Amino acid sequence: MLKAVVKIGGKQFIVSEKETVLVDLLPEGTKQLELDALLVIDGDKTVVGKPTVKGVKVSAKVVEDLVKGEKIRVIRYKAKKRVHKENGHRQKYSKLEIVSIK
């Protein structure tokens, strides 16, 4: 099975064909992505790029925009002062489907 490491939005992901990946929210209007592979794994053979592997492109399409992640609760508390504050946060993601690794 062919796998590749790609960099999307400052983070690295190990991807394979027909796989879906949640990445940080991409700019609006993005439908297709052509990504350079930093590393390619083909069975027992591994090719490391300097900085990218020449001749290898990973194509992906945006399946869904604005997917909300799980809610995170943030609590600030001061002992013995009767002070506390609670906030919540839900990160927004884009869902990508890896079409091919060529």
pLDDT of residue 8: 94
| Run means of pLDDT, 10 residues per run, the chain, 102 residues | 94 96 94 96 95 96 95 97 96 96 93
Q: Could you tell me the pTM of the whole model?
A: 0.84
pLDDT value for 82: 95
Residue 22 CB partners (closer than 8 Å, separation 6+): 67, 69, 93, 94, 95, 96
What local confidence, expressed as pLDDT, does residue 1 receive? 85
- Residue spans of the domains in the chain: they are 2-101
- Following DSSP, what letter does each residue of the chain receive, concatenated? -EEEEEEETTEEEEEETT-EEEEEPPPTT--EEEEEEEEEEETTEEEE-SSS-TT-EEEEEEEEEEEEEEEEEEEEEETTTTEEEEEEEEEEEEEEEEEEE-
Position 3 scores a pLDDT of: 96
